[in-house]
Amino acid sequence: MKATSAEKTQLKKMPLTEQVKQDLADNIYQTLTKEGYEARDIIRISSELISLVTTDLEKN
């Protein structure tokens, strides 16, 4: 599910404090484990996210 433009704008406005980052990571992890993903799946997803960010940074 992709975020709408309004949702993306709203996410950009939210300050990413250390606590917010930790809460977001915890929420993502909890959601994935509840959905049945195993540690290796979560690591692969994390690697893909890092790859996407790296590609985006290289473009800019």
> Is 5 inside any structural domain?
no
Is pLDDT above 90 for 1?
Answer: no
Supply the pTM of this predicted model. 0.66
- The residues, ordered by sequence, that sit 6+ positions from 29 with a Cβ below 8 Å of its Cβ are 42
Task: List pLDDT tens digits, range 44-53.
Answer: 999 999 999 9
| Distance between CA atoms of residues 12 and 8, nearest Å | 6
> Is 44 inside any structural domain?
yes
> Is 2 inside any structural domain?
no
> Is 40 inside any structural domain?
yes
- Please provide the average confidence, as pLDDT, over all residues in the chain: 88
- Side-chain half-sphere CA neighbours of 55 within 13 A: 6
> Is 41 inside any structural domain?
yes
Domain count, the chain: 1
Contact status, residue 16 vs residue 26, Cβ threshold 8 Å? no
| Distance between CA atoms of residues 22 and 3, nearest Å | 21
- pLDDT at residue 10, rounded to an integer: 64
- pLDDT at residue 16, rounded to an integer: 84
